[in-house]
Amino acid sequence: DQQVKQNSPSLSVQEGRISILNCDYTNSMFDYFLWYKKYPAEGPTFLISISSIKDKNEDGRFTVFLNKSAKHLSLHIVPSQPGDSAVYFCAASNTGTASKLTFGTGTRLQVTL
Amino acid sequence: DTGVSQDPRHKITKRGQNVTFRCDPISEHNRLYWYRQTLGQGPEFLTYFQNEAQLEKSRLLSDRFSAERPKGSFSTLEIQRTEQGDSAMYLCASSLGTSSYEQYFGPGTRLTVT
């Protein structure tokens, strides 16, 4: 079963606008969430994370929001830049165990000029 | 900090052959993870080491797969009697361990079994 879901396979946004990527999870034992960016032929690059004790974490242009009751998180990128074009993966872990990551299937973001 | 490195970057092998991949984690990281990624999917967890101890293995890791981390530094992942279904990107990640949950990934080894 897919415990972490990214229901939008792709998203196109104009440069300068906000990109919003969404992620849903089903396992209530997850207590730490991460976003990774991936370019072709490279490994995933860590972007930003959030603990379940928070509902928001910000780092520069990137903000992650967590809604525990809805089991939903989102990544906001503002302003979007052409270099942000990549595949974005949402991942979740249970820090009480091995902290292995469970990934979604990814959302391909295209930032257009 | 040179990041996580993996070798080789690409491997083409014939079905039935054995292959071995190497991962060098970030030097002060005591946790090391292996994941596998196929087209259109996110990475899937295979196994995890804390120092030299292999603490968890996924049910995806059949008995043809074996991983080691002999001195708690680099790790190897061996696949015996490869099958076409083993074709994937094999990713290694490392993390600092307790109180730090971010994992840092290497560039991956792309395996093609013909």
Model confidence pLDDT, tens digit, residues A11-53: 999 999 999 999 999 999 999 999 999 998 889 999 999 999 9
Please state, in angstroms and rounded to a whole number, the distance separating the CA atoms of residues B70 and A4.
33
Mean pLDDT, residues A55-83 taken together: 97
Q: Which residues of A touch B109 (CB under 8 A)?
A: none
Q: Where are the alpha helices (DSSP H) in A1-113?
A: none
Low-confidence residues of chain B, pLDDT below 70? 1, 98-99
Please state, in angstroms and rounded to a whole number, the distance separating the CA atoms of residues B22 and B75.
6
Report whether pLDDT(A97) > 80. no
Q: Residue B99: what pLDDT? A: 67
Please state, in angstroms and rounded to a whole number, the distance separating the CA atoms of residues B42 and B46.
13
Give me the percent of chain A exceeding a pLDDT of 70.
Answer: 99
Q: Which residues of A touch B108 (CB under 8 A)?
A: 42-43
Residue in this structure with the two tokens 């292996």, named with its chain if needed: B34
Structure tokens at B95: 């993390």
Which residues from A are below 8 Å from B when comparing CB atoms?
4, 32, 34, 36, 41-46, 49, 89, 91, 93, 95, 97-106
CB A6 within 8 A of CB A107: yes
Structure tokens at B38: 């196929």
Q: Residue B1: what pLDDT? A: 55
Please state, in angstroms and rounded to a whole number, the distance separating the CA atoms of residues B45 and B55.
13
Structure tokens at B70: 């002999």
Report whether pLDDT(A59) > 70. yes
The pLDDT-based confidence of A80 (bands split at 50, 70, 90) is very high
Position A18, amino acid: I
Work out the minimum CA distance from A106 to partner chain B, whole angstroms.
6
Q: Average pLDDT over chain A, rounded to whole?
A: 95
| Optimal mutation site among B58, B59, B105, interface A, most CBs of chain A within 10 A | B105
Spatial CA neighbour of B55 closest among A3, A32, A97, A102: A97
Report whether pLDDT(A106) > 90. yes
Strands B109-113 and B10-13, by their bridges, are parallel
Please state, in angstroms and rounded to a whole number, the distance separating the CA atoms of residues A6 and A8.
6
- The angle formed by the CA atoms of residues A86, A75 and A84, to the nearest 5 degrees, is 25
Q: Residue B60: what pLDDT? A: 82
Strands B5-7 and B104-105, by their bridges, are unpaired
**DSSP bridge pairs for B19:** B79
Contact B33 A101 (CB under 8 A): yes
Contact A105 B40 (CB under 8 A): yes
**DSSP bridge pairs for A22:** A74
Contact A91 B42 (CB under 8 A): yes
CB B49 within 8 A of CB B69: yes
Work out the minimum CA distance from A48 to partner chain B, whole angstroms.
9
Report whether pLDDT(A6) > 90. yes
Q: Which residues of B touch A102 (CB under 8 A)?
A: 45
